[in-house]
A and B are shown apart, each in its own frame.
Chain A
């Protein structure tokens, strides 16, 4: 026995005899298997222990990043269809261009009525708005959404006019950050501004329903089924009145003609004066130059 200790009942003779003849050993194959398993266990554990923080967590981080990106894109796509529909509402109505009227003038027609109500004081109160709108319209390509000067000024210049050549008012990054759909409200205003005046909403022109063939031609095109009426319903009463004032120049002139034909010369002259203030660059037909 290797360690004889106090009280250990050992027998050195038996021990020596036993050790002398104890020769059995495991087979070499068993030895090889055990040693191979021991080395494999160490070599398999070594790379895992040597991995850095980044190596251990990069798969998790990559997965988390992918999820965040996917979620963000999904949310953006979820909001985009409505926005595109509104863009279509704003940009879709083809403006019937009267012979001899330039596209820029058409753009002004769309933009100016927002700041040019039928009432003369309102028009005179904002003479500069029309020129701003004209400048914006000049900068915009035909078919581009008209800039809404009044609303732009209300927003304190937060939104710049779309660059020339842009096919439509794409939402900028800042638009998405507006909570509560303020952009949508602006777009609805613009939609209302682009609409031709509805005769029954224009108290000053009782004959307008029969007067303007262009109006009759434009209205069905401008009003997408079920969309424009809905926008009108949503607009407050004040905005409806303003939308009624945002008449296009040729319609306005047609109304003035109707007034003259009806013998209401004084009112026709007043309307014409308002028209000249609102559209100083509009080439008047021969009959109104006298």
Chain B
């Protein structure tokens, strides 16, 4: 049964011409990848566009695919590059943070929060429909510095390990670990009453 196959095996099957394998693979990763992009760019419509672009890159790169790393690592790395391309074209002030490898100061995030686009959860019609808890989680994530939020999302949505996150983001393992620790600390502070 293909449903039992690993991501890498499904991708190899798709490379060999099995379109159903791609469908299974897509169903597994469409939500996590979309949420990663949506929370990072803060715009659902833009997230749709980026999401489609990333999967088209996967489709076009199928002939060169080799299972040298786990499929999610490869997929989220493509997504991250696409996101950086977007920042390079439309939000250069955010790109500077992605290109910086220095560890963040816990207070640094306050400036970045103001620079971020408004999270779509904050829009009235969305806020009205969404559950209060989900909205608070979303707001807490939006308040994180981009690099810390990125590490948290890669760990939660992509299921990547510290080493895989370090490879995907081009940082050292300790830097990644530090970012994740900061992110979790802030979230715990903001969501304490929900835990």
- A42 near B56 with CB under 8 A, answer no
Contact residues, A1-15 vs B (CB, 8 A): 1-3, 5, 7-11, 13-15
B191 at interface by CB-CB < 8 Å: yes
Contact residues, B169-188 vs A (CB, 8 A): 177, 180-181, 184, 187-188
Contact residues, A120-161 vs B (CB, 8 A): none
B98 at interface by CB-CB < 8 Å: no
- A42 near B30 with CB under 8 A, answer no
A23 at interface by CB-CB < 8 Å: yes
Given contacts A24-B38, A37-B59, A39-B19, are A18 and B156 in contact (CB under 8 A)?
A: yes
Query: How many Å from the CB of B129 to the closest CB on chain A?
Result: 12
- B60 near A41 with CB under 8 A, answer yes
Which residues of B sit under 8 angstroms from A262, Cβ to Cβ? none
Taking residues whose C-beta sits less than 8 angstroms from the other chain, chain B's interface range is 35 or more
Contact residues, A77-135 vs B (CB, 8 A): none
Query: Digit string of B48-68 for contact with A (CB within 8 Å is 1, else 0)?
Result: 100110011001101000000
- B191 near A34 with CB under 8 A, answer no
A59 at interface by CB-CB < 8 Å: no
Which residues of A sit under 8 angstroms from B134, Cβ to Cβ? 21, 23
Q: Which of A9, A33, A42, A43 meets B180, CB within 8 Å?
A: A9
Which residues of A sit under 8 angstroms from B161, Cβ to Cβ? 3, 5, 8
B110 at interface by CB-CB < 8 Å: no
Which residues of B sit under 8 angstroms from A24, Cβ to Cβ? 31, 34-35, 38, 44
Q: Which of B22, B23, B131, B187 meets A14, CB within 8 Å?
A: B187
A35 at interface by CB-CB < 8 Å: yes
A286 at interface by CB-CB < 8 Å: no
Interface core residue of A14, A21, A43 (most chain B CB under 10 Å): A14
Q: Give Cα A47–Cα B119 distance, bound, in whole angstroms.
A: 46
- B23 near A46 with CB under 8 A, answer no
Q: Give Cα A21–Cα B75 distance, bound, in whole angstroms.
A: 23
Supply 14 further A-B pairs (C-beta < 8 A) apart from A18-B187, A34-B26.
A8-B177, A11-B187, A15-B156, A18-B137, A21-B133, A22-B31, A22-B137, A24-B38, A26-B51, A30-B48, A30-B51, A35-B22, A37-B55, A42-B19
8 contacts between A and B (CB under 8 A): A7-B177, A8-B162, A9-B180, A30-B51, A38-B22, A38-B26, A41-B60, A46-B17
**A residues neighboring B (CB under 8 Å):** 1-3, 5, 7-11, 13-15, 17-19, 21-27, 30-31, 33-35, 37-39, 41-43, 45-46, 49
Per CB-CB distance, the 3 closest pairs between chain A and chain B, nearest first, are: A21-B134, A2-B159, A9-B181
**B residues neighboring A (CB under 8 Å):** 14, 17-19, 22-23, 26, 30-31, 34-35, 38, 44, 47-48, 51-52, 55-56, 59-60, 62, 131, 133-134, 137, 155-157, 159, 161-162, 177, 180-181, 184, 187-188, 191, 194-195
